A and B are shown apart, each in its own frame.
Chain A
Amino acid sequence: MEEKIIIKNLKKEFYDEQRGTVLAVNDLSFTAYSGEIFGLLGPNGAGKTTTLRMMATLMKPHSGNISINGFDTIKDPQNVRKSMGFLSATTALYPRLSPREIITYFANLNGYPEDKTEERVEHLIEYFNITKYADTLSEKLSTGMKQITSIARTIVHDPPVLILDEPSSGLDVIVAQKIHEHILDLRDHGKTVIFSSHNMGEVEKVCDRIGVINNGKLLTTGTLNELREITGKYYMEEIFIYLVQEYETVKQKETGNVND
């Protein structure tokens, strides 16, 4: 297995009028491999979006570094962007363009070979069942249609790494199910998929490995079974609540006891 995403000691601060300096991401490190789905979990404000944005070269970390597909996000952002597709938390589509136009447009922007673009776009439209609304302006689409279109435009240039911020939020079970199928399919084609989520069932079902973060810090990573072992809980929901609420204090107590 090839290391596709390597994150080392990542830090990001924000300055905010009310709160002063906010440490959004604090000393975060993890690795994700090819053909793997990595789930990033954490409560609201944990720093998931910030981490994914830094991976997508949208933001610069204050310290630490990220390597995607062998390219450094600071030194070689252009190649990083070529190697990945990024789906932002909001279904950000140009409201006055149709899905077909948007997908084609992003193929062009990402330098997908021009002579193959049309074929690729048609393939995706068919694969994602977009045909019916492919030529409707996206402002008129439902949330699910928009999200599907967004995913299609994210993978149009067939990148080896996919970074998805809450890909199934606000979707009904059937659409969400479809998206899970697509994500699994992408993995089977050897892609690395990293996504954030608040849906524990989804994480249980789809993820090969899971990382849980809180207050910008990585609490732990591992497969579902590994997390079960660490926490002694069975369901992902219980594992998550335990990790976020108790794990830290338990760990602190342990180290505190040692110090005593």
Chain B
Amino acid sequence: MKALILIYLKDLIRNKYTTLMIILVPVILYPTLYWGITQFLMVKSGLTDNQEINLSLDIRSEQFLSVKDSIATIKNFIISETSDEDFNKNSMYLLVNQVDSLPFYTLHLDSTNAIQKEFSEKLKVILSDYYDLQLGQRIDLSPYDKDYFNTFWVIKHNIDGEYENMTRILSMIIPLMSIITIIAGLGTGAVELTAGHTEDKTTETTLTTSLSRFKIIMAKLFATNIYGLIGGILNFSFLTFVIIQIINTLMMQFAGKSLEFDWSLIFNFRTISITFLSLTLMSHIMSLIFVAAAGFAKTRKEGNILITPFFMAFMMMSYVVIIPGIEPGFIFSVIPVLNIAMMIKLLLVNDFQILFFAQTVSFSLIWMLMLYKYLLPFMLEEEIILGISNTSLLKQIKGRFARWKKK
């Protein structure tokens, strides 16, 4: 038995791809998860002592200019003065008006942002004190009783509107699930159409028809894409439906009311069309990689092994999108798959960032063209397209490794 275990282990370790996976997962996935989870917990548990936060202060009444000094006593607040309504995700906005010679506050904040919420509590204490101070002075000057005046007023505005929690959740689930379901279809399609056809020997007969090789490869790519997209859409619609049903049931159970959500926020023409187009672009990039990788294989099994690393890489990229606190930037727009996942997320929270979108689309197109340029010649090679190669990439790596070991 011991001997058999040893043989099995040797067999596993000698499969360079599984070994690679064993290394790849801890090296990339775990740190990513760790980072994401700690970020999340830090925000949630109020470990925000060192977090700084921006506040745009808009004082419309000369009388209350001194409120700035009071606010400035709160640690880590970065105050900038502004004179117009500022709806910004990254900073809070406080408008100070005057009603009956007393301060009237309006606060815009992102209530899903735990840091902003925490600071808003601190802010409320300061503003309330300031109000009381002003009220004291006002009463001294007037014949009216204290009860005559409005008490302290703060109006909180949610920058994302009333359904923002739901939008947030969906904006994470949708990119993640759509990518996962598309990848699954693409993987199966690519392996079937390349390695599967090699295994069934059907490639050979197709290659002797009057179609050119290029067209055959393109047909495989497109078929893979369509398969992936259809599979993705079907899977995804079903999944969304199920999730909504679950939420609904839970809401009925615990809150006694059904889910109220304005679906047009997500299922509108702009969102659906841009999402669909960008997913098409993304699946094209992924299928090029899958088809090229599985093209080296002679059997379905081998094909599946060959695409696994890419499969995992794409999955991880889609996970990154759901990490809280990740904001779009130039770097993200360069990374394929990740950039489009990010773009869909932004689209769903109605944060249409034209620069990021333009960068994402351009870089995705560049990736696609580069993959065509560098992978297509490989795919068209007779040994690879026929699946008869004894000098496939794997073997070449193996050969090189053997030669290196001898030295």
Residues of A within 8 A of B (CB): 14-17, 53, 56-60, 78, 81-82, 84-88, 90, 92-95, 106, 109-111, 150, 153
- Interface segment among B206-214, B222-230, B315-323, B355-363: the answer is B206-214
Instruction: Say yes or no for B14: interface residue by CB 8 A criterion.
Output: no
**C-alpha spacing A17/B390, complex, angstroms:** 7
- Structural contact, A17 and B212, CB atoms closer than 8 A: no
Q: Is the CB of B395 within 8 A of A17?
A: yes
Given the known interface contacts A15-B390, A92-B200, A92-B202, the answer about A57 and B208 at a Cβ–Cβ threshold of 8 Å is: yes
CA gap between A85 and B206 in the complex, in Å: 11
Chain B residues within 8 Å of A90, by CB: 201
Which are the 7 A-B pairs with shortest beta-carbon distances? A92-B201, A86-B208, A109-B209, A90-B201, A82-B210, A56-B208, A81-B210
Chain B: CB-nearest residue to A112: B210
Judge whether A81 and B208 touch: CB under 8 Å. yes
- Determine whether the beta carbon of A109 is less than 8 Å from that of B390: no
Are A92 and B209 in contact, CB atoms less than 8 angstroms apart?
Answer: no
Query: Which residue of A is nearest B399, CB measured?
Result: A17
A176 to B208, alpha carbons, bound, how many Å?
24
Select from chain B the residue with minimum beta-carbon distance to A55: B208
Shortest beta-carbon distance from A64 to chain B in Å: 16
Is B262's CB within 8 Å of the partner chain A?
no
B391 at the binding interface (Cβ < 8 Å): yes
Given the complex, which residues of B lie within 8 Å of A111, measured CB to CB?
A: 210
Give chain B residues whose Cβ lies under 8 Å from the Cβ of A87.
205
Give every chain A residue within 8 A of B209 (Cβ-Cβ): 81, 106, 109-110
- Please measure, in the bound complex, the distance between the C-alpha atom of A41 and the C-alpha atom of B318, giving whole angstroms: 57
Question: Within the assembled complex, what's the spacing in Å between the Cα atoms of A82 and B208?
Answer: 9
Kindly supply a per-residue 1/0 record for chain B positions 185-222, scoring 1 wherever the CB is within 8 Å of any chain A CB and 0 otherwise.
Answer: 00000000000000011101111111110000000000
B183 within 8 A of A: no
Cα(A109)–Cα(B213), bound, Å: 12
Closest chain-A Cβ to B83's Cβ sits at a distance in Å of: 69
Query: Which A residues touch B346, using CB under 8 A?
Result: none
* Chain B stretch 365-385: residues in CB contact (< 8 A) with chain A: 382
The answer to whether residues A94 and B212 also contact, given A14-B390, A17-B395, A58-B382 and a CB cut-off of 8 A, is: no
Checking A56, A59, A81, A93 against B202 with a beta-carbon cut-off of 8 angstroms, the contacting residue is A93
Q: Measured between alpha carbons, how far is A90 from B382 in the docked complex, in Å?
A: 18
B201's closest neighbor in chain A, by CB? A92
> Which residues of A lie under 8 Å from residue B201 when comparing CB positions?
88, 90, 92
Min distance, Cβ A68 to any Cβ of chain B, angstroms: 11
| B-side contacts of A92, CB under 8 Å | 200-202, 204-205
- Contact between chains at B200 and A78 (CB < 8 Å): no
CA distance A58 to B205 in the complex (A): 9
Q: Which residues of A contact B212 (CB under 8 A)?
A: 78
Please give the distance in Å from B380's CB to the nearest CB on chain A: 12
Is the Cβ of B200 less than 8 Å from the Cβ of A84?
Answer: no
Give A14's nearest chain B residue, CB to CB. B390
Which of B204, B210, B382, B390 is in CB contact (< 8 Å) with A78? B210
Contacts of B211 in A (CB 8 A): 109
CA distance A109 to B399 in the complex (A): 39
> Of all chain B residues, which has the CB nearest A97?
B202
A88-B205, A92-B204 are known contacts; what are 6 more A-B pairs with Cβ within 8 Å? Answer: A17-B395, A58-B204, A59-B386, A81-B208, A82-B210, A88-B204
Chain A contacts of B208 at CB under 8 A? Answer: 56-58, 81, 84-86
Contact A86 B205, beta carbon cutoff 8 Å? yes
Contact assessment for A58 and B210 in the assembled complex, using a CB-CB cutoff below 8 Å:
no
